[in-house]
Structure 1
Amino acid sequence: MLPSNLLVARVRGGRIEPLLLEPEGIPLAIAAEILDRLRESVGKSRRELERELSELEELALEAGLDMRVARAMATLALRASAFEPVKAPLDPVRARLEVFEEACRSFGVALSEEERRAVLERVAARLGCRVEDLEAVLGGYQDEVLTKPADMSAEDLVKEYNLSEVQTLLFKAVKLDVRFVADGATTKRLLRAVKALGLLYLAERAGGGVKLTIDGPASLLRQTRRYGTRLAKLVPHVMLADRWAIEADIAGKRVLKFELTDERSSLFPRRSVEAEPLFDSEVEREFFKSLSRLAPGWKVEREPEPLVAGNRVLIPDFSVSCGGRKVYIEIVGFWTKEYLERKLEKLRELGGVTMIVAVDEELACSSVKDLPHEVVVFRGRLRGADVYPLLKKLLGEPERAPRSEPPREPEIPALPDLSGKTLAEAVKELRGAGIDPARALEVLEKLGYTVEWRSLDPSRARVRRARAEGV
């Protein structure tokens, strides 16, 4: 993903197409130059690198390429590199605080160069450093230095640029249609990714594959940036399918069409995608934990297997199972009105399963309450206690773990009198009787012996018969 001002796109005939580059020729040469400069610049500050890499923008322009291409590639390469804070000769926070306090105390505001110099000299003397060191800290206290340049090839960088252009464009999407064909494992991972990313979607079977209809960031009234980032993260998942096609309505002065298919897959990186977090919100995590605590005998699963509702696919938020019975839980929370209507239609078509629909009271309209499923209304945050009574009715009492019998003490065989023997000799006798030497002291105590320690050497410690109390 890139800042919106780095999106290079062309509009023609009601369609919009981002600039996608072949990893060859001028684009490849610019990418290689960026990466070479980074490899030669370990130890330089981020500011220096940004200034040096900006020189390539003019080069791109002279070669007939939009200068934003070079800037975007530099942004991606810097983002893929590792940086560390500059090692300052003194604490930057304390230095700034001391300078500002001295300036206010002495002049109110240090306006002239002489006043500024006077402030710096006083503070440097107080901190025991040179004025030059103090100025360096004040000027670059937030800067970083390059420690590890981006580990990618020039071809990789061009492909990452293409992916980022598509992701940036989709930030302005009103609606997104994704069609894909993939094996079972990839299909399941992609559907789980859609769910885990918290996207507003509708999944349907289409021919030999799946069609996803996803609400775009431009269709929402709030959290649009966060949602757009999540939508952008879905694109690499889609590109792992065997066949795929993306169609989107892009908002602008007028709605524009965007289309992309696997015919251009060679322009994009094809790499394994990190699994999305199991919980996409703290609310879901807390619900899972509270329900698991209430009923440890039930198996609570996040995002279980997909369910088929007519021609559509639904992945419930949770399932709870016990003794061969299973109940699914779908949480109705942050949704648009249109998405809620589509979701309710899908839930009405879903049959053959036991489902609890948990609805925020702000969305608990009559159409929700008329669903052919159990409905639970909650306020603000869903807790395990909100659904526990209904789950108990549907699943029965949670199975309790069987009580474990306390371990039986092993029997101690008959032994000769050990009184007067050294501890080493007694341990040898116990070992011969099949007793673990690690339990020697414990067994001797149970047999009524005590050990007289004269040193830490077992060959010098003596075993004595313990005296009875009062004797």
Structure 2
Amino acid sequence: MLPSDLLTHRLNGETIVPKQLAIDDRNLELAAELIACFQESIGNSQGELNEKLQDYEGDSPDYRIKRGLAHLLKGLCEFEVMSPLEPQVLRERVFKVAAQTVPSTFNSQQTLNNLALQLTQELQREVIAEEIRVGLYADLAENKILTSFDTPTPKELLHRYNLSQVQGIFYKASHLTINAHRNVPGQYKLLFRYLKLFQLMAYIEGDAEHGFTITIDGPASLFSPSTRYGLAIAKLIPALLHVTKWSLSATLQFRDFYTNNWKTGRFSLDSECGLVSHYPPGKIYDSMVEASFVNRWEALNTNWVLEREVDLIPIPGSIMIPDFRLVHPDGRIFLLEIVGYWRPEYLQKKFSQVRRANCDNLILAISERLNLEKAGVKLNDCPARIVWFKDKLQPKSVLAILE
């Protein structure tokens, strides 16, 4: 994402409008030139790369755009410390030896040569004096070496820039409401996973048939504005872009540039915004057991329709999203959760959720390979119907419970 000083917004009344770059030939050429600059700098220091970028930026009036694109590209780079030893250890050894001689150009070179011979023997590879000289301060940011670059296409870079400008708006959000309408099965779960991952203070209501309303307290609603929490909200936006139908409205608190007084702004966004997410889409299935079950179910001759992750079970302080929903034309609905993961903490949490949900139409498919007793899990007070399986969950076993 972009730092605050590289964000460009304008006001239209109370509405905040972020800067967007058109995906045209001019901007694509600009992006391509910057990408080439990074590619050519592989093997060079970060300081040398910064000099190149500064020369490219020059006194151009669009320097903030170039600087913003370069900032995003740096996030795709890996800079490493290149030194025969940890620089701090290397400095200690060099300075300890150098302190025993009179300072001079000759003695300095001799010290490096002697230490190069020692390190060649210790490391069992050739170490030259220049390598030690470079390695002395290799841990400084400007001396780190660009070793790899996850090269984007010019179009991908421009999309990332436009998304980052929008994300920056939420740094000062005081209130956020997301309406996730009826969507493709499974997309809700990815969104809720990111809500939990970024530890956002969210209140969720609704159901899979009509959609969900997610209310999030923004960083400016806390006792004091939190940049860290604002970044967490901003990180949620690329995940939201994977949901097919949604709308969002936000209330923002920011200081007026001229008066320094706090002002209220508004911002809205929806699924037709044209922004492109760089987050990978959610996996179709969480495990081979799920994938195999779906394939086998499709071969059954049954009126029960299998849907994936389309229902949410509210639990105090949490939510539970079963793996599948089974719907019959006569209106009967069952939820199916496959429990095949072995970690004790996961099993304890999962069965605690099942008990608190107290859902009378939930089916648990449990792997016989799980050591529930060792994990401290007891099934005698479990309200769900249970199906056991070994390597593969048989659809006929589930169908028997349904019927």
TM-score where L is the length of structure 2: 0.61
Q: Which of 260, 284, 306 is matched with 2:269 structurally?
A: 260
User: Quick one: which amino acid aligns to residue 68 of structure 1?
Assistant: R
**Is the 2:6–2:67 contact (alpha carbons within 8 Å) kept by the matching residues of 1?**
yes
SS class of match (1:241): coil
Provide the residue aligned with 1:184 in structure 2. Answer: 185
The answer to whether 1:315 aligns with 2:351 is no
Residue 225 of structure 1 deviates from its aligned partner by 4.5
The 5 A counterparts of 1:68-467 are 68-86=64-82, 88=83, 92-98=87-93, 120=108, 123-124=111-112, 127-128=115-116, 133-142=131-140, 143-181=143-181, 182-205=183-206, 208-221=210-223, 224-253=226-255, 254=262, 255-265=264-274, 267-269=275-277, 272-273=280-281, 306-307=312-313, 315=319, 318-320=349-351, 326-328=354-356, 394-395=381-382
**Is the 1:319–1:328 contact (alpha carbons within 8 Å) kept by the matching residues of 2?**
no
User: Quick one: which amino acid aligns to residue 71 of structure 1?
Assistant: R
Residue 30 of structure 1 deviates from its aligned partner by 1.4
**Is the 1:204–1:211 contact (alpha carbons within 8 Å) kept by the matching residues of 2?**
yes
For 2:354 and 2:314, the matched residues in 1 are separated by: 16
The change in CA–CA distance for 1:74 and 1:326 in structure 2 (over 3 A counts) is closer
**Is the 2:46–2:144 contact (alpha carbons within 8 Å) kept by the matching residues of 1?**
yes
Residue 212 of structure 1 deviates from its aligned partner by 1.2
Q: Which runs of 5+ in 2 are unaligned?
A: 118-127, 256-261, 287-308, 322-348, 361-375, 389-403
RMSD, matched Cα: 4.3
The structure that has the greater radius of gyration is: 1
SS class of match (1:199): coil
SS class of match (2:48): helix
**Is the 1:195–1:315 contact (alpha carbons within 8 Å) kept by the matching residues of 2?**
no
Question: How many residues are matched?
Answer: 302
**Is the 1:203–1:314 contact (alpha carbons within 8 Å) kept by the matching residues of 2?**
no
Provide the residue aligned with 2:11 in structure 1. Answer: 11
The change in CA–CA distance for 1:221 and 1:305 in structure 2 (over 3 A counts) is farther
**Is the 2:185–2:310 contact (alpha carbons within 8 Å) kept by the matching residues of 1?**
no
User: Quick one: which amino acid aligns to residue 77 of structure 2?
Assistant: S
SS class of match (2:356): strand
Residue 158 of structure 1 deviates from its aligned partner by 0.4
Residue 189 of structure 1 deviates from its aligned partner by 2.5
**Which whole-Å deviations, capped at 9, do the CAs of 1:180-229 have from their partners, x for residues lacking one?**
23222112332333234321111233994322111112323589444334
Residue 238 of structure 1 deviates from its aligned partner by 0.9
Residue 124 of structure 1 deviates from its aligned partner by 2.9
Provide the residue aligned with 1:40 in structure 2. Answer: 40
SS class of match (1:256): strand
SS class of match (1:263): coil
User: Quick one: which amino acid aligns to residue 210 of structure 1?
Assistant: F
For 2:205 and 2:190, the matched residues in 1 are separated by: 16
Provide the residue aligned with 2:366 in structure 1. Answer: none
Structure with the greater relative contact order (CA < 8 A, sep ≥ 6): 1 or 2? 2
**Which whole-Å deviations, capped at 9, do the CAs of 1:105-137 have from their partners, x for residues lacking one?**
689xxxxxx968588457436524787555433
**Is the 2:186–2:310 contact (alpha carbons within 8 Å) kept by the matching residues of 1?**
no
The change in CA–CA distance for 1:180 and 1:89 in structure 2 (over 3 A counts) is same
Residue 58 of structure 1 deviates from its aligned partner by 3.2
The change in CA–CA distance for 1:313 and 1:94 in structure 2 (over 3 A counts) is closer
For 2:277 and 2:354, the matched residues in 1 are separated by: 40
SS class of match (1:198): coil
Residue 306 of structure 1 deviates from its aligned partner by 2.1
Residue 4 of structure 1 deviates from its aligned partner by 2.0
The change in CA–CA distance for 1:308 and 1:36 in structure 2 (over 3 A counts) is same
SS class of match (1:29): helix
**Is the 1:306–1:313 contact (alpha carbons within 8 Å) kept by the matching residues of 2?**
no
